[in-house]
């Protein structure tokens, strides 16, 4: 289903906008021997040219046809980033299949939901940190054909092996003819509440969003991309995969999380995007070797300052990067300012699955706009509704939720504006500041509403806590859940004294109903595995609200800090 306004606009662009299937075949013909994909295996690059990528993709089309998979069938793909992920997704486009990417960290319930709700006819599985979840689903659905990429972490019980399967088949002679509003993929959103919904993405909207980014950022010959954020997530799918296919840009993939920094150094990307959590970890890694006090002194010495900045960028493998990006979750302006101080300007961007992650971005980078998520990208309209909800309109919008007409209708108004669920405001130049999710705002027991995200951003500036969450629904007052940094010679008493100073400072800035009543130091770090973080590292606030409600409701009057037992 495509909304009338969106469909009409896409038809206008239909004559001029090439699709990914056309582009990969174009590069395979015009730049056949140029290296497109670089997979690091055993500390060496395994390279694939454009011609080899197209050949493998077309062979997979033939193999799937012979397995009885018909055009229009859904095909699921679950793997960490690798060359085979790109090849498979291109094959699914070339074969007119509908791809269903699944996060490689998804639990069994989510994997099963994505497979059954989409009615996927086959599942391809690749690099995984843990195959227990997908293996349990495979055992439950033994008739579902499975294909394993050639990595030791893929389940050994898959029916087919990727390399041997495609080597046994000739490249398909078929060439697809897709319309702009044909369904390309069903992407299940990693929502912070409930089972994920399947966002339907069309060829036209995907191609348009990717091309707008290419044009706006000015991607050019010789660029290098590094793909490591989950490809099941829309940001990586559009910003890295989409732009690489549409513009013909080389992409490398890491070998493992353990070798990540060294892998980045091997490739030296010119364009690099990350998420707040990882930018924070990179910062911690630097400060462990070069404490802030010493860094401040060195940065004040003109000649030494430039040397230090170059050395830090080189140590992260980012000394060749001309554009750095951050998105997917709220980031503290203080963190971006810190990176700016060491010569790394990070462009913050904002979007969602339903807008192909392309809505606003602070590009070209403006230091005075740190704290905003930039202004609307070319071709995108953004406005603020009466209730402060951010609305978006453009050609790069999803066409609805699969098998969920009611949820689809709730996302759009009659004029084609997408209701994002985020709240915020724009300055006089159109630069957008996000204040959080509409459903993040909670009401305390006093009947007053509190928006936690601005408080958390300010807390990060004051305390630089790696992970935190302000909760307070139905409680007498908000409380802060904080995970202390892990570092040598940790002194709980000293950490507690700092917490007292930080809370005292922020409470002077907050209205009475929003003042922090207490700080609970959390024992176990939040993770995807324990269900508190989504696959894109967003915190499931509602779960923490529920888990710690009784503690917050009965917080002792004479105690500001408690340690979880």
pLDDT (tens digit per residue) in 116-142 = 999 999 999 999 999 999 999 999 999
In this prediction, residues 25-45 reach a mean pLDDT of 97
E strand map for 316-431: 323-326, 346-350, 360-361, 375-376, 381-384, 389-393, 418-426
In this prediction, residues 70-98 reach a mean pLDDT of 98
List, in sequence order, every residue forming a beta bridge with 392; answer none if it has no partner: 382, 418
Q: How many CA atoms lie within 13 A of 339 on its CB side?
A: 28
Residue 13 has pLDDT above 70, yes or no: no
Question: What letter does residue 401 receive in the DSSP assignment?
Answer: B
Which is more confidently placed, 487 or 87? Answer: 87
Contacts of 59 (CB under 8 A, 6+ apart): 166, 167, 169, 170, 171, 172
Which is more confidently placed, 237 or 13? Answer: 237
In this prediction, residues 247-266 reach a mean pLDDT of 94
Dist. CA 519–CA 510, nearest whole Å: 16
Dist. CA 120–CA 76, nearest whole Å: 6
3-state secondary structure 315-329: HHCCCCCCEEEECCC
What is the per-residue DSSP string for 436-453?
A: EETTT-EE-TTS-EE-HH
Whose CA is closest to 243, among 272, 268, 212? 212
pLDDT for residue 444: 84
Three-class secondary structure of residue 114 per DSSP: helix
What is the per-residue pLDDT across 344-396, written as a single tens digit (0 to 9) for each? Answer: 999 999 999 999 999 999 999 999 999 999 999 999 999 999 989 999 999 99
pLDDT for residue 125: 98
Q: How many CA atoms lie within 13 A of 99 on its CB side?
A: 28
Rg (CA), the chain: 24
What are the chain's domains? 442-563 (3.30.300.30)
CA angle 136, 140, 145 (to 5 degrees): 95
Instruction: Assess contact for 480 and 496: CB atoms under 8 A.
Output: no
Residue 431 has pLDDT above 50, yes or no: yes
- The β-bridge relationship of strands 467-471 and 479-483 is antiparallel
pLDDT for residue 327: 85
List, in sequence order, every residue forming a beta bridge with 389; answer none if it has no partner: 423
Give φ, ψ of 239 to 5 degrees: -65, -35
Residue 364: cis peptide before it, omega within 30 degrees of 0: yes
pLDDT for residue 308: 96
Dist. CA 177–CA 529, nearest whole Å: 41
What is the per-residue pLDDT across 269-322, written as a single tens digit (0 to 9) for each? Answer: 999 999 888 898 899 889 989 999 999 999 999 889 999 999 999 999 999 999
What is the per-residue DSSP string for 294-311?
A: HHHHHHTSHHHHHHHHHH
**Element holding 148 (H helix, E strand):** strand 146-148
Dist. CA 402–CA 150, nearest whole Å: 31
Dist. CA 532–CA 542, nearest whole Å: 9
In this prediction, residues 184-197 reach a mean pLDDT of 80
pTM: 0.85
As a whole-number percent, the residues of the chain with pLDDT over 70 amount to: 96
Residue 109 has pLDDT above 70, yes or no: yes
Instruction: Look up residue 76 and give its two tokens.
Output: 């699921």
What is the per-residue pLDDT across 550-559, written as a single tens digit (0 to 9) for each? Answer: 898 889 988 9
pLDDT for residue 1: 37
Dist. CA 477–CA 152, nearest whole Å: 50
The packing angle between helices 20-30 and 83-94, to 10°, is 110
Instruction: Assess contact for 10 and 398: CB atoms under 8 A.
Output: no
Please say whether the dihedral angle defined by the alpha carbons of residues 26, 203, 377 and 190, taken in this order, is positive or negative.
negative
pLDDT for residue 3: 45
Instruction: Look up residue 269 and give its two tokens.
Output: 């990307």
Confidence label for 474 from pLDDT (cuts 50, 70 and 90): confident
Confidence label for 17 from pLDDT (cuts 50, 70 and 90): confident
Instruction: Assess contact for 204 and 403: CB atoms under 8 A.
Output: no
Give φ, ψ of 189 to 5 degrees: -70, 140
Which is more confidently placed, 438 or 211? Answer: 211
Residue 14 has pLDDT above 80, yes or no: no
Three-class secondary structure of residue 237 per DSSP: helix
| Mean pLDDT of the residues in the chain | 91
The strands making up 381-384's β-sheet, listed across from edge to edge, are 381-384, 389-393, 418-426, 432-437
Confidence label for 32 from pLDDT (cuts 50, 70 and 90): very high
Instruction: Look up residue 426 and give its two tokens.
Output: 């724009």
Dist. CA 437–CA 420, nearest whole Å: 9
In this prediction, residues 217-242 reach a mean pLDDT of 95
Residue 176 has pLDDT above 50, yes or no: yes
Dist. CA 342–CA 308, nearest whole Å: 8
Question: What letter does residue 223 receive in the DSSP assignment?
Answer: -
Instruction: Look up residue 396 and give its two tokens.
Output: 């790069």
Question: What letter does residue 233 receive in the DSSP assignment?
Answer: S
Give φ, ψ of 211 to 5 degrees: -70, -35
What is the per-residue pLDDT across 392-429, written as a single tens digit (0 to 9) for each? Answer: 999 999 999 999 999 999 999 999 999 999 889 999 99
Contacts of 547 (CB under 8 A, 6+ apart): none
Question: What letter does residue 466 receive in the DSSP assignment?
Answer: S
pLDDT for residue 11: 52
- The β-bridge relationship of strands 98-102 and 146-148 is unpaired
Residue 336 has pLDDT above 90, yes or no: yes
């Amino acid at each position: 289903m495509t909304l009338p306004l969106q469909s009409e606009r896409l038809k206008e662009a239909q004559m001029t906008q090439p699709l990914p299937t056309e582009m990969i075949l174009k590069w395979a013909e015009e730049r056949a021997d140029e290296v497109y994909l670089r997979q690091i295996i055993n500390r060496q690059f395994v390279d694939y040219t454009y011609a080899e990528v197209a050949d493998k993709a077309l062979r997979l089309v033939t193999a799937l046809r012979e397995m009885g998979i018909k055009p229009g069938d859904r095909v699921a793909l679950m793997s960490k980033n690798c060359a085979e992920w790109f090849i498979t997704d291109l094959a699914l486009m070339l074969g007119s299949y509908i791809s269903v990417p699944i996060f490689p960290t998804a639990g069994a319930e989510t994997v099963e939901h994505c497979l059954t709700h989409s009615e996927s006819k086959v599942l391809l599985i690749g690099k995984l940190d843990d195959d227990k979840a997908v293996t349990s689903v495979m055992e439950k659905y033994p008739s579902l054909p499975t294909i394993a990429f050639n990595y030791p972490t893929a389940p050994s019980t898959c029916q087919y092996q990727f390399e041997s399967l495609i080597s046994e088949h000739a490249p398909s002679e078929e060439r697809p003819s897709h319309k702009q509003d044909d369904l390309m993929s069903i992407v299940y959103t990693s929502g912070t509440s409930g089972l994920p919904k399947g966002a339907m993405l069309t060829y036209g909207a995907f191609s348009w969003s990717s091309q707008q980014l290419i044009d706006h950022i000015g991607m050019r010959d010789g660029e290098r991309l590094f793909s490591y954020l989950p490809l099941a997530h829309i940001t990586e799918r559009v910003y890295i995969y989409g732009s690489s296919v549409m513009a013909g840009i080389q992409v490398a993939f890491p070998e493992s999380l353990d070798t990540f920094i060294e892998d980045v150094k091997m490739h030296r990307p010119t364009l690099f995007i990350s998420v707040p959590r990882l930018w924070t970890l990179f910062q911690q890694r630097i400060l462990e070797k070069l404490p802030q006090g010493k860094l401040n002194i060195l940065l004040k010495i003109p000649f030494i300052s430039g040397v230090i900045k170059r050395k830090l960028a080189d140590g992260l493998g980012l000394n060749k990067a001309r554009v750095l990006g951050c998105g997917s979750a709220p980031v503290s302006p203080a963190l971006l300012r810190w990176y700016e101080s060491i010569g790394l300007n990070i462009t913050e961007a904002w979007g969602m699955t339903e807008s192909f992650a392309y809505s606003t971005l602070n590009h070209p980078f403006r230091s005075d706009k740190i704290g905003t998520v930039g202004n609307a990208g070319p071709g995108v309209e953004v406005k603020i509704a009466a209730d402060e909800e951010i609305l978006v309109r453009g050609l790069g919008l999803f066409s609805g939720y699969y098998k969920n007409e009611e949820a689809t209708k709730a996302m759009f108004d009659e004029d084609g504006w997408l209701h994002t669920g985020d709240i915020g405001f724009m300055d006089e130049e159109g630069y957008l500041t996000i204040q959080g999710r509409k459903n993040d705002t909670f009401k305390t027991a006093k009947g007053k509403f509190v928006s936690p995200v601005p408080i958390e951003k300010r807390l990060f500036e004051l305390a630089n806590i790696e992970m935190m969450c302000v909760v307070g629904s139905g409680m007498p007052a908000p409380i802060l859940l904080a995970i202390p940094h892990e570092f040598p010679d940790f002194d709980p008493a000293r950490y507690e004294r700092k917490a007292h100073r930080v809370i005292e400072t922020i409470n002077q800035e907050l209205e009475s109903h929003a003042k922090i009543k207490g700080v609970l130091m959390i024992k176990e770090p939040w993770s995807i595995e324990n269900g508190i973080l989504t696959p894109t590292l967003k915190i499931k606030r509602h779960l923490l609200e529920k888990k710690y409600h009784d503690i917050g409701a009965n917080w002792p009057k004479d105690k500001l800090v408690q340690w979880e037992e």
